[in-house]
Amino acid sequence: MNTPPTLARCASLRAAPYRLLPGAAAAAVLALAAGCTSYVSRGIGDDGRAAEVVFPDVRRDATQPEGIFPNLDNLRAVGAGLNKDQLYDLLGRPHFREGLVAVREWDYVFNFRSGGGVTTCQYKVIFDKDDLARSFHWQPAGCAAIIAGAAAAPPAPAGPAAAASERHFRLAADALFAFDGIELQPEGRREIARLASRLTGTRYERIEVVGHTDRLGGPAYNQRLSEKRAEAVRGALVAQGIAPSRVMASGRGGTQPVVQCERSVQRALIACLAPNRRVDIVVDASADAPR
């Protein structure tokens, strides 16, 4: 059976080695390929949220239907405010035929080892009008619990301490603060309010807020920046009703990166290092602790 010209054109565009093309040519190929997709979520707003989230058919539409085993640290570093270059550095190219330019969603197929077997999940990122990642979706929805469990699992301690329960949360600093800034942005305050709401009713002994920076800048400056950002997040949590005596803030500067980047262009390097600019929140939960 002959392939219709439009489908043949789309197939050739999707197969194009765009990473090897000059910048303008690659952009042109990707922009054309972006128009080939027939599966998009419905009613995507400027804020990067869809009225109806639609997942593509893996067997029919995936370019990598077997999926991949993602780097869990990279996956946990994904958050609101990342641009497409940053997402690409963390997760690689999407596994379907969306294209990479002029599209509002990327889809992936991820495999996770759990319960002695392998669980396969679909993961969708939806972008706002400025091509920043804003909403994240799993199919089946229960796949989110796999990641949450992996994120919350601390290194196994020895002895009775193994019974302690901790919950870990990671917030992208670029979604909380302006670049190199220490004042929380409105969206950052809303993100912390959502986190505080999740903690309502939780019994915990302490909450540790730890700020991190990238490696750019001097160590002393980065240390102070990470501390000030951690204090800002602590203050916002307290403003949401979290007991001040149970929230501790500290900074690690750029000493604990989650990604390594070697880029010669400053702008590209800043974008690549975004996952290192973060605030980690560890909740030491206990059934015996007061709320």
Tens digit of pLDDT for each residue in 235-262? 999 999 988 998 999 999 999 888 888 7
Q: From CA 10, how far away is CA 95, in angstroms rounded?
A: 16
Question: Among 13-22, 59-68, 92-101, 160-169, whose mean pLDDT is lowest?
Answer: 13-22
Q: Does pLDDT of 151 surpass 80?
A: no
> Can you give the pLDDT at residue 148?
62
Tokens of 225: 């920046």
> Can you give the pLDDT at residue 100?
53
Q: Where are the beta strands (DSSP E) in 140-202?
A: 165-172
Q: Where are the beta strands (DSSP E) in 83-183?
A: 105-114, 117-127, 133-139, 165-172
Tens digit of pLDDT for each residue in 69-89? 888 878 888 888 888 888 888
DSSP 108: E
Q: From CA 40, how far away is CA 263, in angstroms rounded?
A: 33
Q: Which residue would you say has higher pLDDT here, 158 or 90?
A: 90
> Can you give the pLDDT at residue 31?
43
Q: Is the peptide bond before 4 cis (omega within 30 degrees of 0)?
A: no
- Range 179-190 average pLDDT: 88
Q: Does pLDDT of 157 surpass 80?
A: no
- Range 54-61 average pLDDT: 88
Quick one: which of 153, 237, 150, 138 has its CA closest to 195? 237
Q: Which long-range contacts (CB under 8 A, 24 or more apart) does 216-223 make?
A: 216/254, 216/269, 216/270, 216/273, 217/254, 219/253, 219/254, 222/253, 222/254, 223/251, 223/252, 223/253
Q: From CA 58, how far away is CA 122, in angstroms rounded?
A: 9
- Range 135-152 average pLDDT: 73
Quick one: which of 113, 95, 114 has its CA closest to 105? 95
**CB 141, CB 121: distance < 8 Å:** no
Mean pLDDT of the chain: 77
pLDDT tier at 60 (50, 70, 90 boundaries)?
confident
- Determine which helix (DSSP H) or strand (DSSP E) holds 145, and give its type and residue range: helix 143-152
> Can you give the pLDDT at residue 70?
85
Give the number of other Cβ atoms within 10 Å of residue 227's Cβ: 19
Tens digit of pLDDT for each residue in 19-33? 444 454 444 444 444
What's phi and psi for 156, nearest 5 deg? -70, 115
Q: Which residue would you say has higher pLDDT here, 78 or 210?
A: 210
Q: From CA 241, how far away is CA 244, in angstroms rounded?
A: 8
pLDDT tier at 226 (50, 70, 90 boundaries)?
very high
pLDDT tier at 162 (50, 70, 90 boundaries)?
very low
Q: Does pLDDT of 152 surpass 80?
A: no
Q: Which residues pair with 207 in a beta bridge?
A: 247, 283
- Determine which helix (DSSP H) or strand (DSSP E) holds 51, and give its type and residue range: strand 50-52
* Structural domains of the chain, with CATH: 1-36 (no CATH), 41-150 (no CATH), 158-285 (3.30.1330.60)
